[in-house]
A and B are shown apart, each in its own frame.
Chain A
Amino acid sequence: MKRIIVFFVFILLFKGYGFSDSWVEKPDIDFYAHPLIENKGNVKKVFTGKVIIQNNLKKVKVNGKTMDIGDENLYEYRAGDRVICEINGRVSILDYNRSFWIFFTVGLFVIGVLILNFKKGFLSVFSLFFGLFIFVFFFLNFTERGFSPLLTSGFSVVLITAITLFSISGKFKKGISAFLGAIGGIFFGVLFAYFFLKKGHVWGFAREQIQLLNYLIKNFSIPLKSVKGIVLSGILIGTAGVVMDVAISISSSLYEFFLENNKISSKKLFFYGMNIGRDIISTMANSLLFAYAGSSFFYVFAVSFQGYSLMQILNSEGFFFIFVEIFSGTSAIVVTVFLTVVFSSLIIPKRSYKIQNA
């Protein structure tokens, strides 16, 4: 019960000035009552259970035992729902148990990919999930210990790019040229984003999640120093996903040219590569835009309520951050195309002193 009251008090106190740079009142004044911060240092074991109705009363079945409900958080639970809960004499329901549907969706996706092409699909799905696992594992654990988030995410992105590109391409020459081009493009994208974010004094503070993280940093002894690294890491990983695809497409296509004609020169490869790259840029330019629009859809919609004139769109912190994300990502694609073509045309053609078809 207490948690519900605290949660609703938090909602009421949230004044919603929070989408402009100048704050009439500090937005994190009320954060001490945030449910997550309440939980800190208060680790209890979480169980999974199912809601049943017994004697016209709602009860929860946990590990075979039926128990009374102490309090229900966040939703109205009905009979038959799978939930997660804490046990404290009575059961306190925390949230729905959505694990089944997560596995269902992931399973559907993996089966769909495997149906299309078993060998390639398996490799790509494996590298995707392995890469995700590596990133989350490295980023969360090492940042908690005090390493800079930008360095850990940079390191894991390099690792993920290497694994994905080399496993999908199969040949060393293809993989190395794509890898070098991708790394160069990602690096440029992050530099672009850092430059414009710094000049515009925007570090994502219009988002509530970042305000909460900042509050945690200031008031609790956490090894993390500032939020800027997190924001840049987000842009880094977002760019990495798109850039990998571009790099491998170009290096694969140029490798096909090499397979057709062993004696093709670097200049010709460069010329063909730039043509292919132009086509790829014109189709990929939109995919990043829509991916960012979709992932921050609710946020953009919320910001639009706070003044929606052209001046606000061009000047406000929230919109500016999204525009920087989009444009830095697309610039990273453009630079990747150029660098991959350069590296491919240097590495792929046959040279007498280089290893053949490693």
Chain B
Amino acid sequence: MTNDSRLRNLFFRYFFIFLLARFFVFADEDIFAVGEVLEIKNLKTAPCYSIEAITFRITSGIYRGEKIQVKNYLWDDKNYNTYLKKGQKAVLRLRQFPGGLTGSIVGYYRQNLFFFMLFCFLALLFLVVGKRFLRVFLSIIVNLFLFIFFAIPFLKKGENPPLVIGFFIGGSVFLTLVFITGFSKKMVSSFVGTIASVLIAGVLSFFIFKKAHITGMFFDGSRFIQTAVRTEGIKINFFLLAISSVLISALGVGVDIAVSISSFLKEFSRENPHLNITGLFKAGINVGSDILATMMNSVIFVFLGGALPILLTLKFCEVSYLRVVNYEEISALIIGSILASSVVVLTVPVTSFVSARFFNPSRSLQRAGCLKGRPFGINKKNNKYVNRGL
């Protein structure tokens, strides 16, 4: 085994142990349990709604085996109802009162469906990608883990969002790069390229959001966060949260471009050792702009997809165009998506510059005590290799 892969294996082993420990030590904030429907009784039928009394037998957690009766409210709008049949499972939220156990229905039991979705996805990956499918899947899972178990709990405690998200971004980029490229010069140059462009875009978005008076209070869930946080007395800075959301969305695409440019420049510098830093930089920019041409669509279209309901609502409410565009949510989406794409645009020159410096052969030749940056190859007169090995 090479040194590189041995180091990588060790790293993964300890990282996964750490992740698993975190996973099991994770404390529940509320008591959720899975219950199986035993019996459904119709309690009340009114013109707008009806109430069912459903008896559950709890099948998970500390209250396993107990029976509990819960009210299920059925409204005239189908979408706000949970329709349950005998033998079906549901998720309950339980509360222990002095008189006994009470609770409410949270919703359908989707765990099995979630794992089935994972399985279908893995099967598809395996069919197309082959043996390396686990690597792809693990990189997604690791990033999800980092986000759900590290970034969000710290944000909930009220810590400074750019700091938390900065650590999350740094950690996730580092892990993704270790998966894709391994510990090498390529990794370092991609890492530096992504982080530098994210920093620049962060500063830019701070300036622009401040000037455009985007407070972060009018997003999809901001009102809920406000009310939830008020009871606990934590201060959350919505403005910094808005900036962090822009940076996160730029991350994935930025890593992709950085890796492409670094790998390309590594091979290219080996093929053309006579090029100096400027030549490598120019080649990197050419390739980068080719990749950029299609990749900048991705972030903007994803943001647009998330904004479709609000756009349609505003259209139906006959709000004038000027007001729609200046609505905080819409303008934050537009500015945010363009800024996230700007991270992608910034990554190209920054990564080209860093990779050009790293893979510049004349420098390493100088260090090896060989030719001072002169072109090398086979000496045609006596057929001897002139290069001393890079």
Binding site for B on A (CB under 8 A): 11, 14, 16, 18-28, 36-37, 39-41, 43, 45-46, 48, 75, 81, 84, 94-99, 101-102, 104-106, 108-109, 112-113, 116-117, 120-121, 123-124, 128, 131-132, 135-136, 139-140, 143-144, 149, 164, 168, 192, 196, 199-205, 207-210, 212-214, 216, 218, 220, 222, 224, 227, 230-231, 233-238, 240-242, 244-245, 248-249, 252, 274, 277-278, 281-317, 320, 323-324, 326-327, 330-331, 334-335, 337-338
Given A84-B322, A301-B241, A26:B75 Cβ within 8 A = yes
A281–B346 Cα distance when bound, in Å, is: 23
Q: Other CB < 8 Å A-B pairs besides A139-B308, A291-B340, A314-B114, 14 of them?
A: A36-B319, A97-B326, A121-B292, A132-B300, A140-B312, A230-B312, A285-B140, A287-B252, A290-B248, A291-B249, A311-B33, A311-B91, A313-B148, A334-B125
Chain B 189-225, CB within 8 Å of chain A: the 1/0 string? 0000000000000001000100111111001111111
- Contact in complex: B255, A327 (CB < 8 Å): no
Find the A residue at minimum CB distance from B258.
A283
CB-contact partner of B260 in A143, A248, A283, under 8 A: A283
- Contact in complex: B132, A164 (CB < 8 Å): no
- Contact in complex: A237, B308 (CB < 8 Å): yes
- Contact in complex: B249, A293 (CB < 8 Å): yes
- Contact in complex: A286, B255 (CB < 8 Å): yes
Chain B 287-328, CB within 8 Å of chain A: the 1/0 string? 011111111111111111110111111111111101101111
Would you give the shortest CB distance from A234 to chain B, in whole angstroms? 4
Q: Provide the residues of chain A in CB contact with B121, threshold 8 Å.
A: 327, 330-331
Is B53 in the interface zone, CB < 8 Å from A? no
Is B277 in the interface zone, CB < 8 Å from A? no
A37–B221 Cα distance when bound, in Å, is: 19
A114–B290 Cα distance when bound, in Å, is: 12
Q: Provide the residues of chain A in CB contact with B108, threshold 8 Å.
A: 21, 200-201, 315
- Contact in complex: A109, B341 (CB < 8 Å): yes
Q: Provide the residues of chain A in CB contact with B285, threshold 8 Å.
A: 116-117
- Contact in complex: A26, B328 (CB < 8 Å): no
Binding site for A on B (CB under 8 A): 23, 26, 28-30, 32-34, 49, 60, 72-73, 75, 77, 79-82, 91, 93, 104-111, 113-114, 117-118, 120-121, 124-125, 127-130, 132, 135-136, 139-140, 143-144, 147-148, 152-153, 155-156, 176, 179-180, 204, 208, 211-216, 219-225, 227-229, 241-242, 244-253, 255-256, 259-260, 285-286, 288-306, 308-320, 322-323, 325-328, 331, 333-342, 345-346, 348-349
Given A121-B289, A139-B308, A234-B308, A290:B314 Cβ within 8 A = no
A41–B29 Cα distance when bound, in Å, is: 45
- Contact in complex: A295, B303 (CB < 8 Å): yes
CB-contact partner of B118 in A199, A238, A327, under 8 A: A327
- Contact in complex: A98, B255 (CB < 8 Å): no
A218–B212 Cα distance when bound, in Å, is: 36
Q: Provide the residues of chain B in CB contact with A308, threshold 8 Å.
A: 29, 152-153, 156
Most buried by A among B105, B129, B215, B341: B129
Given A281-B128, A293-B249, A303-B221, A99:B176 Cβ within 8 A = no
A278–B204 Cα distance when bound, in Å, is: 35
Q: Provide the residues of chain A in CB contact with B110, threshold 8 Å.
A: 200, 202, 314-315, 320
Would you give the shortest CB distance from B110 to chain A, in whole angstroms? 5
- Contact in complex: A230, B308 (CB < 8 Å): yes
Find the A residue at minimum CB distance from B222.
A298
- Contact in complex: B180, A282 (CB < 8 Å): yes
A139–B305 Cα distance when bound, in Å, is: 12
Q: Provide the residues of chain A in CB contact with B117, threshold 8 Å.
A: 196, 323-324, 327
CB-contact partner of A244 in B81, B294, B305, B334, under 8 A: B294
Most buried by A among B77, B156, B224: B224
Most buried by A among B23, B91, B128, B228: B128
The count of A-to-B residue pairs whose CB atoms sit within 8 angstroms is 439
A108–B336 Cα distance when bound, in Å, is: 13
Given A116-B288, A140-B312, A320-B114, A128:B224 Cβ within 8 A = no
A186–B91 Cα distance when bound, in Å, is: 33
Q: Provide the residues of chain B in CB contact with A40, threshold 8 Å.
A: 316-318
A202–B114 Cα distance when bound, in Å, is: 12
A351–B127 Cα distance when bound, in Å, is: 29
A20–B81 Cα distance when bound, in Å, is: 10
Q: Provide the residues of chain A in CB contact with B81, threshold 8 Å.
A: 22
Q: Provide the residues of chain B in CB contact with A48, threshold 8 Å.
A: 322
Given A238-B306, A289-B140, A334-B124, A301:B223 Cβ within 8 A = no
CB-contact partner of A234 in B30, B306, B337, under 8 A: B306
Q: Closest 4 CB pairs between A and B?
A: A294-B249, A302-B221, A241-B301, A21-B107
A11–B127 Cα distance when bound, in Å, is: 50
A175–B168 Cα distance when bound, in Å, is: 38
CB-contact partner of B326 in A95, A216, A287, A291, under 8 A: A95
7 contacts between A and B (CB under 8 A): A40-B318, A102-B212, A121-B289, A216-B316, A241-B301, A285-B136, A309-B26
- Contact in complex: A294, B326 (CB < 8 Å): no
Given A102-B334, A241-B300, A309-B32, A205:B80 Cβ within 8 A = yes
Find the B residue at minimum CB distance from A178.
B294
Q: Provide the residues of chain A in CB contact with B288, threshold 8 Å.
A: 116
CB-contact partner of A237 in B60, B73, B212, B305, under 8 A: B305
- Contact in complex: B292, A209 (CB < 8 Å): no
Find the B residue at minimum CB distance from A168.
B293
